[in-house]
Amino acid sequence: MAAFRSVFRSGLFTGQAGIVTGAGSGIGRCTAHELAALGATVALIGRKPEKLEAVAREIADAGGSARCHVADIREEERVAEVVHAVLADFGRIDFLVNNAGGQFSSPLENISAKGWDAVVRTNLTGGFLMARETYAQSMKQHGGAIVNMIADMWNSMPNMGHSGAARAGMLNFTETAALEWAPVRVNAVAPGWIASSGLDQYPPAMREHIRALPSKVPLNRLGTESEISAAIVFLLSPAAAFISGACIRIDGAVPNVKPNYTLPPRGTTPAFDGFHLATKPKVLE
């Protein structure tokens, strides 16, 4: 039977239960698989039941355990209901992976108020609601760990200004929650350009731009979903017991590139890809 090839020890999360949002595809799907492979019982949260059910079947086929909860994380009452349902089902919530998000490419001057609000509510407000309810209903009394998803938004995020603003807000929220909610640990991960299914969601006009991205990365490649999942799992693990209010960049050193420095011809680091069901985005084929 094929299984996730995690670098972490078998059974690391046995007896634990938690939530992964945006679990129907991409990084969320990968992370849910790894946590389940390490023994956790995982609540898969997303807006499309067919995607969540497919991931739950994959996890079951690999010997893991997952439940599906359909929700739009931007809806406050529904978030409270779902967290309550997860607690009723599992009896505990040890971790929350605030992965759900989304954006579209556009220069700032063309973003409408509706478009801005949609992205900010998804990438910032929804994550806040999930974290607040998880904390209030469970972690305030029993402890736990939260990992928030942000992005490589350092030094600006051109053509993604709505997402950059939201992700920067999520970083500040992470730092504040780590203080106000201690000893609950709250951290963030900031992926750069990752070879995930999300790349196929952008319009055809962006294909050549996406295919050229590896040449702009000091490590000369895109990251993998497994490399993001591994960082998330580390932050949830006992090895990170003294880490809170921090952010791990997973970006191949892209934010360190300077206008006065030309990247030389170079090799790359071997990619880590432990996800047995990972597929290459069509745009990169």
pLDDT digit string (tens) for 13-22?
999 999 999 9
Q: Could you tell me if 193 and 228 are in contact, meaning their C-beta atoms sit under 8 angstroms apart?
A: no
For 202, half-sphere exposure in the C-beta direction (CA atoms, 13 angstrom radius) is: 22
- Helix or strand (DSSP H, E) at 88: helix 76-90
Neighbours of 183 (CB within 10 A): 10
Percent of the chain, pLDDT > 90?
91
CA distances 33 to 72, 85, 230, 280, Å, are 21, 21, 11, 17
Q: Domain containing 95 — which CATH number?
A: 3.40.50.720
What is the β-pairing status of strands 95-98 and 17-21?
Answer: parallel
CA separation for the pair 273, 156 (Å, rounded): 29
Q: Is residue 247 part of a domain?
A: yes
Q: Is residue 258 part of a domain?
A: no
**In the chain, how many domains are there?**
1
pLDDT band at 39 (very low <50, low <70, confident <90, very high): very high
The parent domain of residue 209 ranges over: 17-253+277-284
Q: Is 167 in a helix, a strand, or coil?
A: helix
pLDDT band at 205 (very low <50, low <70, confident <90, very high): confident
CA separation for the pair 19, 14 (Å, rounded): 15
Q: Is residue 11 part of a domain?
A: no
Average pLDDT, rounded, for the chain: 96
Q: Is residue 271 part of a domain?
A: no
CA separation for the pair 283, 57 (Å, rounded): 27
Residue 1 pLDDT > 70, yes or no? no
Q: Note the pLDDT tens digit of each residue in 84-141.
A: 999 999 999 999 999 999 999 899 999 999 999 999 999 999 999 999 999 999 999 9
Q: Is residue 102 part of a domain?
A: yes
274 closest CA partner among 1, 77, 13, 8: 8
Q: Is residue 98 part of a domain?
A: yes
